Amino acid sequence: MKPSILVARAIFPETLARLSEHFEVESNQVDHIFTPQELAAKLQGKHGLLCTGSARVDATQLAQTPMLRAVANMAVGYDNLDLAACTAHQVMATNTPDVLNQTTADFAWALLMATARRVTEAEHWLRAGNWEKWSYDAFLGADIHGATLGILGMGRIGQAIARRSSGFDMQVLYHNRSRLSESQEAYANNARYVSKQELLATADHLVLILPYSAQTHHAIGAPELAMMKPSATLVNVARGGIVDDAALIAALRQKKIAAAGLDVFEGEPKFHPDFLTLENVVLTPHIASASESTRRAMAECAADNLIAALTHQKPPNLLNP
Ligand code: GLV
Ligand code: GLV
């Protein structure tokens, strides 16, 4: 008998077809986000789960699903999975690293440039029929070339973001749990390791790309925002919860920093409604990895992991060996 799996969000039909060769598949092509109770009910009798960050897999969930042997997260970040609880329940957990590094780095730049140069704000103004009111000081933004790029969280994506800055003649500063090797720093446009304090005080454009955890919760709150330059741009392509959104809204309102570009939010898909009242933000719905080829690669990577896990092989991206 084939193992049974749940695919908790809609996914490419090609990936579903491939999974169906190996498994009895229950899928959620209507793409409704399951509540924890619905997820537990759907997981009864299932051996595997393919999910995204919108599914929380913790001790409470696992206690109700004794058959479950593997969870394949279709994301590089896995703060939605309690790895210790997975291990305690002998559930293999996997993610989709590397396939999205370059695409996510591209998007960090899209967001940084749109934010610093006020692209979406200007487009809204144009669409509203205001062009006749153009003046010399309309939509003055911050230069990117020659500026200091700060990166908080210098994993593979952070390094890919830094590398792209060489064409803009930027100086790169970073802070990370550990310092990179010399060759990694060279790859990352000669990035220089500094304290978090120096990073905040010196960056003209600060990009957040660190994993979310209890330790990084509100890594950027009111005290950190107060240390930044009033002319600075903040970009978050990491996770909601790394920034204290209420504190960020206050800082943007009081012009303690110039602008923010945000792809992730506390409590998404809901988010603080006051963001919508601000002009100096660019808001996107968690799409940094959303290129056609990368999303397909992520789906295939998650499927590879699940197939390996449930056919007695070691999944390529096992998080809890
Ligand atoms: C997206 O946020 C991911 O973690 O892949
Ligand atoms: C970077 O933050 C990564 O997870 O690769």
| Average pLDDT of the residues of the chain | 97
Which CATH class name applies to 4-98+292-310? alpha beta
Q: Which residue has a Cα nearest atom 1 of ligand 2?
A: 155
pLDDT (mean) for 304-319:
97
* For the CA of 238, the nearest atom of ligand 2: 2
Q: pLDDT at position 193, please? A: 98
Q: Which residue has the tokens 């790394």?
A: 242
pLDDT (mean) for 243-249:
98
Q: What percent of the chain has pLDDT over 70?
A: 100
Residue 17 pLDDT class (50, 70, 90 cuts): very high
Are the C-beta atoms of 148 and 173 separated by less than 8 Å? yes
Residue 101 pLDDT class (50, 70, 90 cuts): very high
Are the C-beta atoms of 34 and 43 separated by less than 8 Å? no
Residue 270, judged by CB atoms within 10 A of its CB (0-12, 13-18, 19+), counts as exposed
Q: Which residue has a Cα nearest atom 3 of ligand 1?
A: 75
Q: How far apart are CA 262 and CA 282, in angstroms?
A: 6
Q: What percent of the chain has pLDDT over 90?
A: 99
- Cβ neighbours, 10 Å, residue 77: 17
Q: Which residue has a Cα nearest atom 2 of ligand 2?
A: 155
Q: pLDDT at position 238, please? A: 98
Residue ranges of domains in the chain: 4-98+292-310, 101-283
Residue 132, judged by CB atoms within 10 A of its CB (0-12, 13-18, 19+), counts as exposed
Residue 202 pLDDT class (50, 70, 90 cuts): very high
Kind plus residue range of the DSSP H or E element containing 205 = strand 205-208
pLDDT (mean) for 29-33:
91
Q: pLDDT at position 130, please? A: 98
Q: pLDDT at position 284, please? A: 98
Q: How far apart are CA 288 and CA 255, in angstroms?
A: 26
Residue 77 near ligand 1, beta carbon < 6 Å: yes
Q: pLDDT at position 113, please? A: 98
Torsions phi, psi of 70, nearest 5?
Answer: -150, 140
pLDDT (mean) for 257-270:
97
The closest alpha carbon to 257, from 237, 240, 281, belongs to: 281
Pairing of strands 192-193, 92-94: unpaired
Q: pLDDT tens digit string along 275-295?
A: 999 999 999 999 999 999 999
Q: Which residue has the tokens 């006020």?
A: 118
Q: pLDDT tens digit string along 40-87?
A: 999 999 999 999 999 999 999 999 999 999 999 999 999 999 999 999
The residue ranking higher by pLDDT, 31 or 113, is 113
Q: How far apart are CA 65 and CA 34, in angstroms?
A: 15
Residue 155 near ligand 2, beta carbon < 6 Å: yes
Q: How far apart are CA 4 and CA 2, in angstroms?
A: 6
For ligand 1, pick from 73, 104, 213, 265 the residue to mutate: most ligand atoms within 8 Å of CB.
104
SS3 of residue 44 by DSSP: coil
CA of 62 to the centre of ligand 2 (A): 26
Q: pLDDT at position 51, please? A: 97
The answer to whether ipTM exceeds 0.95 is no
Q: pLDDT tens digit string along 293-306?
A: 999 999 999 999 99
- Does pTM top 0.90 for this prediction? yes
Residue 148 near ligand 1, beta carbon < 6 Å: no
Q: Which residue has the tokens 């996510």?
A: 104
The strand order across the sheet containing 192-193 reads: 192-193, 171-175, 148-152, 205-208, 233-236, 259-262, 281-283
Which of 25-34, 187-196, 252-261 is predicted least confidently?
A: 25-34
Q: Which residue has the tokens 């669409």?
A: 127
* For the CA of 209, the nearest atom of ligand 2: 2
Q: How far apart are CA 234 and CA 236, in angstroms?
A: 7
pLDDT (mean) for 195-208:
98
Q: How far apart are CA 155 and CA 170, in angstroms?
A: 19
**Fold category of 101-283 in CATH:** Rossmann fold (3.40.50)
